Amino acid sequence: MTPPAFPSLQVDGLSKTFTLHTQNGARLPVLQGMRFSVSPGECLALSGPSGIGKSTVLRLLYGNYGAETGRMILRQDEREIDLAAASPREILRLRKHTIGYVSQFLRVIPRVPTLEIVADTLRNAGFAGDPLPPSKAMLTRLRIPERLWNLAPSTFSGGEQQRVNLARVFVHPFPVLLLDEPTASLDAANRQTVIELIQSAWARGAAVVGIFHDLEVRDAVATRLLDMDQFRAAA
């Protein structure tokens, strides 16, 4: 059996400035020459004060924002992809199979039931077999009561929506995980579950980059800390 090839990330010279054309072309430099790497089985926690650009880094890695300069090399199966230069098709393919992103907000088609949202991740990833049993198992693990499974999450509480968001990412063993405050609105029991999910993700070899405001969570899941202050762009 060949060992599974786990991915690593290497970021170098990453910069990002926002130009606000609707506000007299104001320039907002955020990141300058950012550099870090994440090995398989690591969880890198980005740290720094509000507004320093932590979420921006995750969005750049996910392709949601465009990099101004720099490279973000994803190495997997002896293949190298520069996420900063990848085509939209390439990014979309990576999002289906390789890179999972837990954002702070759930964004879904209004009427689609919760269970389908979770199962869709598996369908998109080409899961062989019935995607419903693992989807139900993940919803159960994150304590979404069964009576909610066939409802669309638009009316759910903040914490419930956040758990649907987590379920739909953790249901598939994404090799790369990007987590933006994944426990922000969760109670203690669910926080513990998420800690376990993250720990088992890097334990299976995933490369994880996250933002964890809760220090207890951060201490439990992070294998390394990156202080972002050194990459603060001069305004």
Q: For residues 59 and 136, which CB has a smaller minimum distance to Mg ion in the complex?
A: 59
Binding test (CB under 6 A) with ligand ATP, winner from 8, 47, 56, 103: 56
Q: For residues 108 and 148, which CB has a smaller minimum distance to other proteins in the complex?
A: 108
Burial 110-120 (b: 16+ CB within 10 A, else e): eeeebbbbbbb
What are the tokens at 16?
């990002």
Half-sphere exposure (CA, 13 Å, Cβ side) for 67? 25
Rg (CA), the chain: 18
CA distance 8 to 209: 11
CA distance 206 to 225: 17
In angstroms, give the least distance from the CB of 126 to ligand ATP.
32
CB under 6 A: which stretch of 6-14, 47-55, 171-179, 216-224 binds ligand ATP?
Answer: 47-55
Residue entry with tokens 């650009």: 53
In the three-class reduction of DSSP (H, G, I as helix; E, B as strand; rest coil), residue 159 is classed as helix
CA distance 198 to 216: 14
Which string of x and - marks every residue 41-80 that binds Mg ion (by CB under 5 A)? --------------x-------------------------
Picked from Mg ion, other proteins, ligand ATP, none, the partner binding residue 51 (CB below 5 to 8 A depending on kind) is ligand ATP
Binding test (CB under 8 A) with other proteins, winner from 59, 163, 168, 172: 59
Picked from ligand ATP, Mg ion, other proteins, none, the partner binding residue 97 (CB below 5 to 8 A depending on kind) is other proteins
In angstroms, give the least distance from the CB of 103 to other proteins.
10
Q: For residues 89 and 147, which CB has a smaller minimum distance to other proteins in the complex?
A: 89
CA distance 86 to 94: 10
Is 8 a binder of Mg ion (CB under 5 A)? no
